[in-house]
Structure 1
Amino acid sequence: MKNLVGEKKEKAVLVLDIGTSFVKLGLFDINANPIKDFQVKFEHWMTIKSDGTYIFNPKESAELIERGIDELLLRSSNFEIIAFSSDTMASTILGLDNNNEPLTEVYTYGDTRSYKELSDLKAAINQKKIYDETGCPMHTSYIPARILWLRRTNAEIFKNVRLWTDFSNYLLRRWMNNKNIPLSYSVASWTGIFDRKKLNWNESILKSIELEKNSLPELKSYDFNLVGLNSKYSKRWKNLVDTPFFLPVGDGVSSNLGVGCNSEKKIALSIGTTGALRVVTRKTDLKIPQGLWAYKIDPENSLLGGAFSEGGNVGLWLKKLMNMQINFEEIETDDLNRELEQLLLRSKPDSHGLTVLPFLAGERAVGWAENATGTLSGIRLSTTQTDIYQAFLESIAYRFGLVSRRLMTVLGEECTVIASGGAIKASKYWLQMISNVLGMKVSVSNVEQDTGKGTAILALVGLGVKKSLNDFEFEISDTYNPDEKSMIIYQNAMDRQEELYSKIFS
């Protein structure tokens, strides 16, 4: 008979994963595995406009997340929730008043309206010095130019902002009794105003954008936690009253740790809607290869790599544009995808004569070109739909290749790549191509909810339930090894792509 008085409840971590497209909530066991039937997922609505707007409403999103927590807790009475752990898309920024109430929308990394301010800022600062100190290239994805843009376009509101912080930090300020909530080094690293060497806000960049240090949160490592909901949420979430809430981390960190990429021997490659190639390093004198970023995880560890605005979104766009797929959303199960995959598997590498720059959503790594757009070169009357589709997939793989070349100058030893993400895992053709382009063995992660798992891992290690990041299991479903002939073809094609890039963006 279950649920007898005094019966021990199963321990679980409640994980909140704040993504750009979706928000996920779930319970994870003490081995950081998702607990079946205790997972909630819902869409995260953004306001996106052609002028570069990419924002969302903080209160609406907070209320949506809170209803999700309500739903999960209603079904979780048989669990002892030993930690609340969060990860978040980065970077985001909003302004709060003296009562921690939002005065602005939440501006995301995808908002590009600060490009003019960025240009002015680049001319005014020592970019090389700031890049080395913050680990972030100068780009609209980061906070410095956005602060200048907000001051210019929202002067009155700007004057009334007491604190600039990120969305995940706002949530904790909304829920906790203690209103002075620090920001983790991880989330701060994504802002472009954090000094990765001093573990503090960077004084040079703050001076350049005329922002006071006291208008930003304090800083702590991710394992700092708080206990004590305020009166409103203590009544609403009774089984979280004594639960420690850990500081949120950037979702890239969680994604790496969730597939077992917690050292320099394993590089995490993810392609979902967008893409990234990242590695965890403990190098204390880390020199960042040009075009990459370095974000602190904690005082000892950094996340080094590059992220892309292109990934599975490009494939979806192509299928819709060329009427290859009527239903824009269902990409993994219809017959068309299976037929397309078979056509691609029979194709030869770079056999179409096309060169593509896949910047349909702008460029981040490795060139960080402002207002970059996509380019398709070499098209002929003989060019087919499959040729175009293949060329775009190859072009995305080459961007990963460019990041990989730079990573290897730091790592300097043989590594294994662990691939995850719905878009890449759906295509054996793309997986083999990635292995050929990188010239490395690529193993496919079989981990369910890798980002959530990584976030749970951080909480379990932070609590001392597990001793280290190595005390967890990570399944692999398949492995791909590079083909030497294809490697040579792709290297030449990658060089051709770089030539086209230099002609357009130099």
Structure 2
Amino acid sequence: MPNQRAGRRSNPQDKEGWFLGIDLGTGSCKCVVVDSQAHILGFGTGDYASSTTQQKWNEQDPDSLLAGMVRSVHSAIEQSGVKATGCAGLSIGGAMHSLIALDHSGNPLTGVITWADGRGAPQAQAVRQSTQAAELYDQTGCPAHGMYPLYKILWLRQEHPALFEQVARFITAKEFVFQKLTGQEVVDYSLASGSGLLNTHTLKWNPLSLEVAGIRPDHLAQPSGPITTFRGLEPFLAKAMGISSQTPVVLGSSDAANSNFGAGAVNPWQATCMIGTSGAFRIVTGQPTLDKQGRLWCYAIDETHWLVGGAINNGGITLSWLKDALNQTVSQTSNKTEISFDDLISLAGQVETGANGLICLPFFAGERSPNWNLNARAVFFGLTLQHDIRHIARSLLEGVAFRLRSLNEILSELVGDIDEVRASGGFTHSELWPQIIASTLDRNLLAPAWGETSCLGAAFWAMLGVGGIPSFESAGDLITIALQYSPIAKEAAVYDQLYPIYAGLYESLKPAFDQIAQVQRDLALSTAEQNPRAR
């Protein structure tokens, strides 16, 4: 793991006053140790598992998240070689849209219901078709979608009323960990805003959202700003992590807001583009910025900053589909080595821009932004006898890039031109995919030297909370750019030809998406009835 900001190794004196940035993600916790100039001193991870006890359910054990955080912090500190007493502050970022129900004794009644849990989808769809949908969006900045805790709570109330009656408090995964660590019951503005329950204008719990969910304000913690600071850690946990129990703890924000913060994308003309399994395209604005058509979300960060953008279900998962499909065939027909992600990227790079006119609508997992269509399905359009697996691989990469272009266009409508895009996520490990995106967007794409932008953003909140940096915007001065991908005019011209066809295909296929999704549900139900073990 390189020591880096500007590629420089840290000096021993840098280790006297240092900061911890913790990213409590969905699949693991990541922690970074930085000095006062944001040089990376150490990095650690702690994994935890998810369970899918039923179809569309996705839960985690709350205690495993706490254990994963302790492991990640201990590992980062051990790697860094810093003094345990030298931590000037820490902050925690949390994955958005999680939910835990607690009883009156503070014990979990549910696991951590993650953003990927789909059981609230029918409730969200019912609201989406009601007269309340537009009002809720205008107040909260959250389109009606099952990922939001509002609809998970509504599901619990409608489907498990007896359990619902036992609930004293609904919290996020980060709140659970934060309370164990500090004893404080508090939620940051960003996570609160990403619940569908907070008014994004007033930064108070939204009365209509509470009414729809069937809960009271005292079911929820007090929303607070990200630089709210506490002192005093639970001694046992402090010792296990390797820091002083008197370390200042800065409340911080969500992983999404932290990703922008840690990439230095802190102005409306700077976007972040993240592609991991899924993807996102986001900007920071100085006021609530809502889309009249409800295509994007708008989450509060603090009293003067809002995060505006969209998320896509289909990022790296599209390549996973192709890799798994090919490897299943290989395993059934030969003993050859399995195909890797790098192999697919290499194959995609062997064909020309535009994949010889093959267009992919990459809706393998439905769609979130901008159309919020669970019934959207993947399509390859333009296949001929001249196409092979290389073209399919490239069309997947380009199809995801077109999804990001659609979000960029909507954001540009709302806030004006976006001059640069900063990249994070696994896709930055290749050179081809970032270049495709730069040319598709016709914008410079900048990759920060430190790719784990969410945990670095958490470290910046720790620094801001204790006075280590003067402002949110000043974090941009601490970011070093490792690579810049500039649009290639010839490639951009090809994508300008293909994108209108791509967009038109989506509009034309909307009715067919609904029809085929219903057929698939009917067939799945028929299969389950014939073979109960397949459920």
What is the TM-score with the length of structure 1 in the denominator? 0.89
**Distance apart, 1:347 and its partner CA:** 2.2
- 2:225 aligned with 1:221: yes
CA–CA distance in structure 1, aligned partners of residues 231 and 154 of structure 2: 36
**Cα separation, 1, equivalents of 2:344 and 2:75:** 40
2:195 aligned residue (167, 191, 195): 191
Matched, 1:442 2:442: no
- The structural deviation recorded for 1:338 is 6.0
Please state how far the C-alpha of 1:231 moved relative to its aligned partner: 6.2
Given the alignment, which residue of 459, 462, 471 partners 1:456?
A: 459
For the Cα contact (< 8 Å) 1:272–1:421, is it kept in 2?
yes
Q: 2:392 is aligned with what amino acid?
A: I
Change (3 A) 1:326 1:56: farther
Aligned-pair CA distance for 1:336: 6.5
Query: Where does residue 46 of structure 1 map in the other structure?
Result: 50
Could you say which residue in structure 2 is the equivalent of 1:145?
151
Q: Tell me: CA distance 1:69–1:285, structure 2 relative to 1, closer, same or farther (3 Å).
A: closer
Shift of 1:449: 2.4
Counterpart AA for 1:482:
P
Q: Residues 380-419 of structure 1 correspond to what in structure 2 (within 5 A)? A: 380-413=384-417, 415-419=419-423
Q: 1:267 to 1:240 in 2, by over 3 A?
A: same
Cα distance per residue 1:383-432 (max 9 Å; x no partner): 31111111111110000000000111123235111222222x23322222
What is the CA-CA distance between 1:106 and the residue it aligns to? 0.9
> Contact 1:34–1:448 at 8 Å: present in 2 too?
no
Aligned ranges 1:9-28 → 2 under 5 Å: 10-28=16-34
Per-residue deviation at 1:257?
1.2
Alpha carbons 1:9, 1:79 under 8 Å: kept? no
Structure 1 pair 70/294, CA: closer, same or farther in 2 (3 Å)? same
* C-alpha distance in structure 2 between counterparts of 1:453 and 1:235, whole Å: 23
- Of the three residues 256, 260, 279, the one matched with 1:256 is 260
Give distance in 1, aligned partners of 2:448 and 2:76.
27
Cα distance change on mapping 1:204 and 1:177 into 2, 3 Å: closer
TM, length-normalised to structure 2: 0.84
Matching of residue 314 in structure 1 with residue 318 in structure 2:
yes
In the alignment, structure 1 residue 119 sits paired with structure 2 residue 122: no
- Which residues of 2 match residues 337-352 of structure 1 at below 5 A? 340-341=344-345, 343-352=347-356
Work out whether residues 288 and 294 of structure 1, in 8 Å CA contact, stay in contact via their aligned partners in 2: no
**Deviations for 1:333-385, whole angstroms, at most 9, x for unmatched residues?**
x9976665455344223244433221222311111112433233343444311
Tell which deviates more after alignment, 161-170 or 456-465.
456-465
Q: Please give the root-mean-square deviation of Cα atoms over the aligned residues, in Å.
A: 2.7
Does 2:287 align with 1:269? no
Match of 1:387, as an amino acid? H
Q: Deviations over 1:41-92 (max 9, x none)?
A: 1323111367211111112322333344455567654551121211111110
Residue segments in structure 1 that go unaligned for 5+ positions in a row:
1-6, 328-333
* Aligned-pair CA distance for 1:217: 0.7
State the match for 1:497 in structure 2: 502
| 1:237-248 aligned within 5 A | 239-248=243-252
Aligned residue pairs total 489
2:302 counterpart SS class: coil
1:386–1:79: structure 2 CA closer, same or farther, 3 Å change rule?
farther
Match runs of 1:58-77 below 5 Å: 58-69=62-73, 76-77=82-83
* Aligned pairs (5 A) from 1:172-183: 172-178=178-184, 181-183=185-187
What's the secondary structure of 1:20's corresponding residue? Answer: coil
**Kept after mapping to 1: 8 A contact 2:20/2:462:** no
Rounded to whole Å, the distance in 1 between the matches of 2:125 and 2:59 is: 22
| Pair 1:139–1:72, CA change in 2 (3 A) | same
Query: Bigger shift: 184-193 or 461-470?
Result: 461-470
Q: Which AA in structure 1 matches 2:110?
A: T
* Unaligned segments of structure 2, at least 5 residues: 1-12, 332-337, 512-535
Please, which of 477, 482, 487 is the counterpart of residue 487 of structure 2? 482
User: Which SS does the other structure have where 2:367 is aligned?
Assistant: coil
Alignment CA distance shift 1:270-1:357 (3 Å): same
Distance 1:150 1:414, change over 3 A: closer
1:88 aligns with 2:77: no
Q: Distance between the aligned counterparts of 1:8 and 1:53, measured in 2?
A: 45
| Higher mean displacement: 239-248 or 42-51 | 42-51
In the alignment, is the contact (CA less than 8 A) between 1:10 and 1:78 conserved in 2?
Answer: no
Describe the shift of the 1:437–1:252 C-alpha distance in structure 2 as closer, same or farther (beyond 3 A): same
In 2, Cα distance between the equivalents of 1:8 and 1:339? 41
The answer to whether the 8 Å contact 1:415/1:440 transfers is yes
Q: Secondary structure at the match of 2:20?
A: strand
Residue 131 of structure 1 is matched in structure 2 by 137
Moved more, 338-347 or 239-248: 338-347
Distance 1:325 1:41 in 2: 34
Q: Percent identity?
A: 26
User: For residues 337 and 171 of structure 1, do their structure 2 counterparts lie closer, same or farther at Cα, with a shift above 3 Å needed?
Assistant: closer
- Per-residue CA deviations over 1:85-128 (Å, capped at 9, x if unaligned) read 11111110011122322111111111112222222222344222
Q: Which has the higher helix share?
A: 2
Distance in structure 2 (CA, Å) of the matches to 1:386 and 1:28: 42
Structure 2 counterpart of 1:141, one-letter code: M
State how far apart, in whole Å, the 1-side matches of 2:376 and 2:198 are: 26
C-alpha displacement of 1:184: 0.8
Cα deviation digits, residues 196-250 of structure 1 (max 9, x gap): 1011111112112211111011111011122223465467568432112222411
Q: Which residue of 2 aligns with 1:3?
A: none
Check whether the contact 1:117–1:148 (CA below 8 A) recurs between aligned residues: yes
Q: Kindly tell me: are residues 476 and 237 of structure 1, through their superposed partners in 2, closer, same or farther at Cα, counting changes over 3 Å? A: closer
CA contact (8 A) 1:279 1:305 kept: yes
**Letter aligned with residue 220 of structure 1:** S
Verify the 8 A CA contact 2:143 2:297 in the aligned structure 1: yes
Separation (CA, whole Å) in 2 of partners of 1:325 and 1:418 = 37
